[in-house]
Amino acid sequence: MALIEKSKIQNVTGIDERQRNTIFCFLQGAVYCWCKNRPNEWFAMRDLMGGDNYYWEGTPLLSLYQKHYDILGKASEDAVTAAAKDSGWLLKRVIEDDKRIFHTKKEGLVRMYKWDGDSSY
């Protein structure tokens, strides 16, 4: 319901249900914070958890990096890239499951979202 423009949603494997649910809750909070403070602006996963927030230690997102680095044995830089992709797919699921409606678009390789601003749901 939440994405106006429909697109593929990929499942993320290699994490357990508890980790997945914790990440969903964490990302949902980030989305709500963005929408409250920047309601008319587009955002992507990198806006929520990149830049100044790139250090995932102490967050549920760390399990994505650990999956690729510790379990799959990828080099650190490759594990960071793969974890970022996983986090993007999980964010897309959070947006799709949200009760509010979001617009989406693709800019290069990045999926962007914007809340439509209607809070009457």
For the stretch 61-80, pLDDT in tens is 999 999 999 999 999 999 99
pLDDT at 62: 97
Q: Does residue 1 have a pLDDT over 50? A: no
Give the closest residue to 48 by CA, choosing from 92, 78, 99.
Answer: 92
Q: Does residue 33 have a pLDDT over 50? A: yes
Evaluate whether residue 53 is within a structural domain. Answer: yes
Range of the domain at 65: 17-115
Mean pLDDT (the chain) is 91
pLDDT at 20: 97
Interatomic CA distance for residues 33 and 108, integer angstroms = 25
Half-sphere exposure of 67 (CA within 13 A, CB side): 19
With a pLDDT cut of 70, the percent of the chain lying above it is: 93
Evaluate whether residue 1 is within a structural domain. Answer: no
Evaluate whether residue 78 is within a structural domain. Answer: yes
Evaluate whether residue 72 is within a structural domain. Answer: yes
User: What is the domain count for the chain?
Assistant: 1
CB 88 within 8 A of CB 111: yes
Interatomic CA distance for residues 34 and 65, integer angstroms = 24
